[in-house]
Structure 1
């Protein structure tokens, strides 16, 4: 069997060698021979549960979505001069959700779908992730500490009353972690044993298309919503 990959969607399939050759030399986006982003020997594929891996990935999408919503809200209220603290409250709530969802996936080990429980504490996942991000494992550990401290100290013990935006670690690293994780999971899925006629796919198949569509949707919705309520006075 030979692993082939769709260069447009990232989808991967195991095919018979002769079939893979035909696909590779056709005019389709399917190819083989790319450099793998994972160390296949660093995983016990039989112990990876697809349902848990998909829930782990859903947490990734959740924190990206919440962080992008918070960013757009923050930029728009400054641009439009909106002073209604309800919107600041929504910024803080969105950032809070982003931090909590990130911590479910990468923060403390006791989370049900933490990467160590999904891929195995001794797997090469975090090594593969750091390589894909061009960061060291120490870099990732420092970021993990900053995010878990933000959750434990700032979010858990702040009333976040909307008077000011909560101060948190920057989210570029978190979003890039989701991007890199998608690239890794896309390669892991075809290697996970399945039942006959059972196929596992990652949704969305293409991270860049998903995040671009998400950003377009957010940027076309939030400014109009803020403009429509700009003159609404919040009564305390």
Structure 2
């Protein structure tokens, strides 16, 4: 999805983020054993994709799709306060969390920093809640006539997408597990 509208582009990036997170979680719930390179690679690619999409809205303010460039400046303080309230985080805690995801993207995904200081992969519960909050704010500001295909609920949409894919993933995982057991040792 590519849009020249900052609001739509931000909404599409948040949708891509949410889809990556929910599909990754769904796959992790199905493709447990045996561990196979294809499924490990798939969930890692979804992790990388999620961090890139999330950072387009919450990372660098230089991004055209950063929320501060999409939402009118006079609303920034209220939106930021609403975000912190929704996440039940202090401004310092939010900044530390947001920075940890940006550092992960910068050192582990967008670049290969040999001196990376990333201690662990991001957990996306807070990122998802932030995305869900900002999705609603941006969607409410967007021109209603331009929202074709943009769902009203990010969380519900992403869960539905993952749920719809689960039967395919289950069948593919079962088939790949069968293939793996037929390979001579």
| TM-score bin (small chain) | 0.7 to 0.9
Q: Counterpart in 2 of 1:157?
A: 112
Q: Counterpart in 1 of 2:41?
A: 89
Residues 57 and 66, structure 2, Cα contact 8 Å, conserved in 1: yes
CA-atom RMSD, angstroms? Answer: 2.7
- CA positional deviation for 1:76: 1.9
CA 1:94–1:55: 2 relative to 1, 3 Å: same
- CA positional deviation for 1:53: 0.9
TM-score normalised by the chain length of structure 1 = 0.63
- Rg larger for: 1
Instruction: List structure 1 segments (4+ residues) > 4 angstroms apart after TM superposition.
Output: none
Aligned length: 170
SS at match of 1:111: coil
Q: Counterpart in 2 of 1:199?
A: 145
Whose strand fraction is larger, Structure 1's or Structure 2's? Answer: 1
- Larger relative CO (CA 8 A, sep 6+): 1 or 2? 2
Residues 8 and 147, structure 2, Cα contact 8 Å, conserved in 1: no
Whose helix fraction is larger, Structure 1's or Structure 2's? Answer: 2
Distance 1:204 1:68 in 2: 15
Of 81, 88, 95, 1:134 maps to: 88
Residues 82 and 226, structure 1, Cα contact 8 Å, conserved in 2: no
Distance 1:175 1:91 in 2: 17
TM-score normalised by the chain length of structure 2 = 0.78
Unaligned 5+ runs, structure 1: 1-49, 159-165
Unaligned 5+ runs, structure 2: 114-118
